[in-house]
Structure 1
Amino acid sequence: MRLIWLLATLVVLSSAGTVKDPPKVRYDNYAVYKLSIKNKIQLSLLNRLSERTQNLNIWKDYDEFSKQMDIMVSPSESKRFQLFLKLYGINNQLLISNVQVLIDGEQVSSRDSGTFGWKRYYNLDEIEAWLDEILQTHPGITEDFSVGQSYEGRRIRGIKISHGSNKPGIFIESNIHAREWITSASATWFINELLTSQQPEVRNLANSYDWYIVPVFNVDGFAYSHQSDRMWRKTRQPHPTSSCIGVDGNRNFDSQWMVNNGASDDPCSETFAGPVPWSEPETKALSDYLTSIRDKFSVYISFHSYGQWLLSPYGHTKEEFPENYNDLLEIGDAFSGAIKNLVYGTEYVHGSTATVLYVASGSSVDWVFNELDKKVGFTIEFRDKARFGFVLPPSQILANCEELMAGMIALIDRTNTLGYI
């Protein structure tokens, strides 16, 4: 009986959070390099090397536009990695000498008087508390909705903003990749602007459409990225035959799943597509929810970082393009032009995912485009071009948000002009 009592006590203490949590993963002296790839042999060698060791982490995969890739290297692997680059003649540029320094700087509070602002990054509990406050403050305009439950039992929350009934809908999904914190920061800012801004163009955007916005889709991974590992990307469901955890949610949708090497079948890979489509409760829940409201929205947007791209279907092939690809390029022109005209002069590249970035199959945008027949769908890859990568300083949050709003106003306006809404 005493043993049972002790075990029960441990369970209670653990659930109450009094048992010490494992220490956070640290990235002291982890470096990030930009590599210039000359040929397929170099690319193949790099991919094989990254698959064989956990000491290399690809931040940005090789893309066709720049012929470059970004990779994070542990200090224990640094000498061997430099020898490898020299042996195979791979040109490189050091982008970040110590990732942990950026992470530490990112955590510094802005001392914003305890109010929710956009001068620092917030964890899941803080974002959900803010959502609750927004719902209470704007009861006639906002509505809480649930996409479903995550593997760890968290509710995947969304907010609907509507100034009337039967208006065309726009759906925004954010933070499917846990470490891309700028995405949920931008989503919450965008929600706030739709509700409070007095700028005529923003008011028109808010009043003319029904908005469905999920600020944090990968709730388990996002919570884990704050609590344990800042660089965590995937979901948190264990794999039955591997010690590696999680799936790349943006490769798990049942649209051209695993086609043309657009994802990995290795559970330890950052782009692991899962054992089957919809293996993750999160992606299955989103597909079910979107199907249930398919007649209520016309445009689908997925927030990501980093790289400054606006990506349209298709992701699974460079050889085929949607019938309306020219229209998607025209919408992309409007989006990127509006952002470049701002004081920051930030440049976005636009085009299909497979042609301007890389082949990526099983994405949410492609699934909505192909299976729900929504012919305007984009992935937005926010700032920057790799100077800070996933650890974008809080000082850049507002600038990124301003660019998002300018781009969205232009994107929706051109989409409407072309008759898609």
Structure 2
Amino acid sequence: MRLLWSLALLLVLASAATLKDSPKARYDGYAVYRLSVKNKLQLAVVEQLSQLSSKYNIWKDYDEHSQQVHIMVAPAELQHFQALVSLHAISSEQIIENVQDLIDAEQVTPAADSAPFGWTRYYELAEIEAWLDSVLAAYPTVTEEFVVGQSYEGRTIRGIKISHKAGNPGIFIESNIHAREWITSASATWFINELLTSQEPAVRSLADSYDWHIVPVFNVDGFAYSHAKNRMWRKTRQPHATNECIGVDANRNFDSHWLENNGASSNPCSETFAGDVPGSEPEAKALTEYLQKIANEFSVYISFHSYGQYLLSPYGHTKEEFPDNYDDLLQIGEAFATAIEALPYGTAYRYGSTADVLYVATGTSVDWVYNELNKKVAFTIEYRDQGRYGFLLPPVQILPNCQELMAGMLALIGKTQELGYL
């Protein structure tokens, strides 16, 4: 019996070592296509493809306005994929020829690696946390750390509060809930830095007039995995009890219209898997508990995402009805989009409810905050771009994206204040 137990232990340890030392996923020859979907049969075909997660990966779900889907195709499936879209008369256009080329372009040069923390490259979790420590040490009178909770793998979900005076209305920002959306944590750290260092009068007023609660990397396990093992990883890292697929879409795991109206998936292998129950993920559970605890300390909630260039408000669960204050949310959205488009880049953002402008998405953090905590200004920002680079936004675009964020935030908070929500 002891021998059998020892053999079993060795097998477990060997399996763990293999997982730890498994090679980093590569995407040589993987291509991304823009599909134009004109009817329900075509949409059903695309949805079937999306279930084959090892061969196809949906980058942008179908929405009725554009009638488009962005899908990454494995090279071994390319011939079958082209035959299938041809058979069903689905128009397709290749928008990324080789995903690995874009991943390679993100890699850090020796010069950039030796430079101080900045916004010309993407950083790993440990580097972001070290920078956060330096910020907390440099600005002890106006910053303090807060802890949302622990991840499945035991990492601490950390945030920073910036407060220049007592009694300020609060704004909560959650970033990088989807692991592969690296531009979100890059933008969050830049925004923190601007709130502390900018001498621009409008930015100083933004910093001084509100308490800012910011979580730069929420999905810490997935984010670490996206750097170490798989650049395209989206979900959390908790194994499923009865399925070999790992992780949950944390932004479908909140207890607000959870798994309704096809706004998420019950398939553990899907990129939008909602979990077996709401709050199954320790990360989502920790955030709901933390937000409930500080509910009186903030009035506005914003979630950073990519990509597509949208400002999305509730509701996500239905496009048949809208929030009571939807007209106000549209005014805020218009201010945000107008301010960004006025910049020299001319970047266009669409705004409106998630379900109406983009697609039905249920169990999201923004909808949970809006519906359950009664915070009537809650938005998802979907950053650059519209598909040319998708989740692999080149480092050279980090600063332009951040500049657009600041212009948009100044307008968003200004209009929110004007409408009486702050």
With the length of structure 1 as denominator, give the TM-score of the two structures.
Answer: 0.96
Distance 1:202 1:11 in 2: 54
Q: Give the equivalent residue in structure 2 for 1:191.
A: 192
1:106 and 2:109 correspond: no
Q: How does 1:146-295 map to 2 (within 5 A)?
A: 146-295=147-296
In the TM superposition, what is the alpha-carbon distance from 1:6 to its structure 2 partner?
A: 12
One-letter amino acid of the counterpart of residue 374, structure 1: K
Q: Could you list the runs of 5+ residues in structure 2 that have no partner in the other structure? A: none
Distance 2:247 2:53 in 1: 17
Contact 1:57 1:73 in 2 (8 A): yes
Secondary structure at the aligned position of 2:360 is classed as coil
One-letter amino acid of the counterpart of residue 233, structure 1: R
Contact 1:110 1:120 in 2 (8 A): no
Q: Give the equivalent residue in structure 2 for 1:68.
A: 68
1:250–1:18: structure 2 CA closer, same or farther, 3 Å change rule? closer
With the length of structure 2 as denominator, give the TM-score of the two structures.
Answer: 0.96
1:254–1:397: structure 2 CA closer, same or farther, 3 Å change rule? same
Secondary structure at the aligned position of 2:59 is classed as strand
Q: Give the equivalent residue in structure 1 for 2:26.
A: 26
In the TM superposition, what is the alpha-carbon distance from 1:44 to its structure 2 partner?
A: 1.1
1:54 and 2:49 correspond: no
Please, what is the CA RMSD of the aligned residues?
2.3
Contact 2:53 2:269 in 1 (8 A): no
- Structure 1: 4+ residue segments shifted above 3 A: 1-15, 17-20
Q: Give the equivalent residue in structure 2 for 1:131.
A: 132
Contact 1:313 1:377 in 2 (8 A): yes
Distance 1:191 1:6 in 2: 51
Q: Give the equivalent residue in structure 2 for 1:371.
A: 372
Contact 1:37 1:43 in 2 (8 A): yes
Secondary structure at the aligned position of 1:111 is classed as helix
Distance 1:72 1:135 in 2: 40
Distance 1:244 1:11 in 2: 18
Deviations 1:343-399 (A, max 9, x none): 100000000000110000000000000000000000000000000000000000000
In the TM superposition, what is the alpha-carbon distance from 1:13 to its structure 2 partner?
A: 12
Contact 1:55 1:77 in 2 (8 A): yes
Distance 2:166 2:11 in 1: 52
1:198–1:11: structure 2 CA closer, same or farther, 3 Å change rule? farther
1:41 and 2:41 correspond: yes
In the TM superposition, what is the alpha-carbon distance from 1:215 to its structure 2 partner?
A: 0.2
Contact 1:34 1:68 in 2 (8 A): yes
Contact 2:53 2:270 in 1 (8 A): no
Distance 2:380 2:64 in 1: 17
Deviations 1:208-230 (A, max 9, x none): 00000000000000000000000
Deviations 1:84-131 (A, max 9, x none): 011000111100010001001111337244300000000000000000
Q: Give the equivalent residue in structure 2 for 1:78.
A: 78
Contact 2:311 2:349 in 1 (8 A): yes
Distance 2:268 2:311 in 1: 28
Contact 1:148 1:156 in 2 (8 A): yes
In the TM superposition, what is the alpha-carbon distance from 1:7 to its structure 2 partner?
A: 11
In the TM superposition, what is the alpha-carbon distance from 1:63 to its structure 2 partner?
A: 1.1
Deviations 1:232-267 (A, max 9, x none): 000000000100000000000000001111000000
1:417 and 2:394 correspond: no
Contact 2:27 2:99 in 1 (8 A): yes
In the TM superposition, what is the alpha-carbon distance from 1:4 to its structure 2 partner?
A: 11
1:58–1:10: structure 2 CA closer, same or farther, 3 Å change rule? closer
